[in-house]
Amino acid sequence: MAFLVSDPLYLEHQAAGHVECPDRLLVILEHLKKSGLLAKCEPLAARDASVDEIALVHGRDYIDSVRWMCERGGGWFDADTYLNEKSYAAAVRAVGGVLAAVEAVRDGRGRTAFCLVRPPGHHATPSRGMGFCLFNNVAVAARFLQRRVLIVDWDVHHGNGTQDIFFDDPEVWYLSTHRWPFYPGTGREDERGAGNIMNIPIPEDVARPAFLSMLKEGVERAGREFQPEFVLISCGFDAYARDPIGGLGLEPEDYRVMTDIVRSLGAPVVSALEGGYSLEGLGPCAEQHLRGLLA
For the beta carbon of residue 97, count every other beta carbon within 10 angstroms.
30
Is residue 155 part of the contact set for Zn ion (CB under 5 A)?
A: yes
Is residue 121 part of the contact set for Zn ion (CB under 5 A)?
A: no
| Of 258, 226, 222, nearest in space to 147 by CA | 226
Question: Between 265 and 271, whose beta carbon lies closer to Zn ion?
Answer: 271
Sign of CA dihedral 51, 54, 58, 64: negative
Pairwise CA distance, residues 120 & 123, whole Å = 8
Cis, bond preceding 284 (omega within 30 deg of 0): no
Is residue 20 part of the contact set for Zn ion (CB under 5 A)?
A: no
Pairwise CA distance, residues 241 & 249, whole Å = 4
Is residue 157 part of the contact set for Zn ion (CB under 5 A)?
A: yes
Applying CB under 5 A, which part among 37-45, 47-55, 152-160, 194-202 lies near Zn ion? 152-160
Please tell me which residue in 123, 157, 158, 178 is annotated as part of the active site.
Answer: 123
Give the nearest distance from C-beta 239 to Zn ion in angstroms.
8
Q: How many residues bind Zn ion (CB under 5 A)?
A: 5
Is residue 123 part of the contact set for Zn ion (CB under 5 A)?
A: no
Residue type, 69: M
Identify whether the C-beta of residue 250 lies closer than 8 Å to the C-beta of residue 211.
Answer: yes
Question: Between 193 and 275, whose beta carbon lies closer to Zn ion?
Answer: 275
Query: Would residue 123 show up in a list of annotated catalytic residues for this protein?
Result: yes
Is residue 238 part of the contact set for Zn ion (CB under 5 A)?
A: yes
Is residue 275 part of the contact set for Zn ion (CB under 5 A)?
A: yes
Where does this chain bind Zn ion (CB under 5 A)? 155, 157, 236, 238, 275
Active site residues: 123
